[in-house]
Chain A
């Protein structure tokens, strides 16, 4: 099993450009999440999904959109990138059964917006 994978690993964008980050998981998890990590700020939730076709906002959703068209994939879109979106982005997934709430993280995407 590959677990949680993210594409791409690194990306440099110019202000105003758009891009999509792809997250894929092969563990048949219902829940998927997008976080951003900035120095001293911990992991902040951008958006999450509790199942195919559903999405919900986290604590820092502005400037991002998401889609969950297939259970195994969760896409994060930046329509018009800003320097404030320079960050490391982590995707995670979890099963929400009573036995386990563990979130499994992807390797991260380092995004720089100039």
Chain B
């Protein structure tokens, strides 16, 4: 099955700086790559996603880039704020046409981002 690796596991930045979190995946047929943010004690929530036919997507201060050839994708947060502090998870969606995987998401282990004021 798919294997998603995420780095770094922890990231500390000063308010206003940029933060980058990187993920790699193993299955070249994966076709959807979401990013979830989980604040302390809360549920994961989708913040941005990208499909395999797109190389970059941006939404205000956050952007995601995808390199299908290298099988990696990244989350970029600019002008970080203390409220960006959370755990961020990347994921890859298995292609439904690949037997029994039925389109499930495979998650990375998460990155604890801390933004210092």
Query: What would 25 A/B residue contacts be, using CB atoms closer than 8 Å?
Result: A31-B103, A33-B104, A40-B9, A40-B110, A41-B109, A42-B89, A42-B107, A42-B109, A42-B110, A43-B44, A43-B89, A44-B107, A45-B105, A56-B100, A59-B1, A90-B44, A96-B103, A101-B34, A101-B49, A101-B103, A102-B46, A103-B46, A105-B43, A107-B43, A108-B43
Closest Cβ of chain A: how far from B97's Cβ, in Å? 13
A48 within 8 A of B: yes
Bound-state Cα–Cα, A74 to B34, Å = 23
A interface residue numbers (CB < 8 A to B): 31, 33, 40-45, 48, 50, 56, 58-59, 90, 96, 101-103, 105-108
B interface residue numbers (CB < 8 A to A): 1, 6, 9, 32, 34, 42-46, 49, 89, 93, 96, 100, 102-105, 107-110
Cβ contact of B109, chosen from A40, A48, A108, cutoff 8 A: A40
Which residues of chain A are near B107, meaning CB under 8 Å?
Answer: 42-44
* Leading 4 A-B pairs by shortest Cβ distance: A42-B109, A105-B43, A43-B107, A42-B107
Bound-state Cα–Cα, A58 to B6, Å = 20
Q: Name the residue on B nearest A35 (C-beta).
A: B107
Q: A101-B34, A102-B49, A103-B105 are in contact. List 12 more A-B contacts (CB 8 A).
A: A31-B103, A40-B110, A42-B89, A42-B108, A43-B44, A44-B107, A56-B100, A101-B103, A103-B34, A105-B45, A107-B42, A107-B43
A-B contact count (CB 8 A): 47
Closest Cβ of chain A: how far from B59's Cβ, in Å? 14
Bound-state Cα–Cα, A19 to B65, Å = 43
Bound-state Cα–Cα, A47 to B42, Å = 21
In the bound complex, do residue B34 and residue A56 qualify as a contact, i.e. CB atoms below 8 Å apart?
A: no
Bound-state Cα–Cα, A31 to B43, Å = 18
Which residues of chain B are near A101, meaning CB under 8 Å?
Answer: 32, 34, 49, 93, 103
